Amino acid sequence: MNPEQPPPSDASSRQRLLEQERNWLALALSVVPGLGQLYKGYKAMGILIMIVGVPAVIWAAALLFLATFGIGLILIPIAWAMVALHAFVAEDHRRHHIGVL
């Protein structure tokens, strides 16, 4: 075995580690809804979430706020959590050459 080349199990564990790091980075980028999707290569979905999804959720939460005496505001963190969860679990569509970025 060549000492310069890592064993196959080491390469696969390194690949899994990089995938986990990318998932966590996509989750962190989801502080702004849609950025995690853009990072993972879901360009149309990320832009749609930013342009249509965020204003729609805010509008719906405002209407529900008036109808439910404030309970409707829970819609905003629920929607944000769903977007962040999708960014975390979605398959990475980008071609990464090296590292996390």
State pLDDT tens for residues 45-99: 999 999 999 999 999 999 998 888 888 889 999 999 999 999 999 998 887 656 6
pLDDT at position 16 is: 86
The DSSP string of 13-52 is HHHHHHHHHHHHHHHHHTTSTTHHHHHHT-HHHHHHIIII
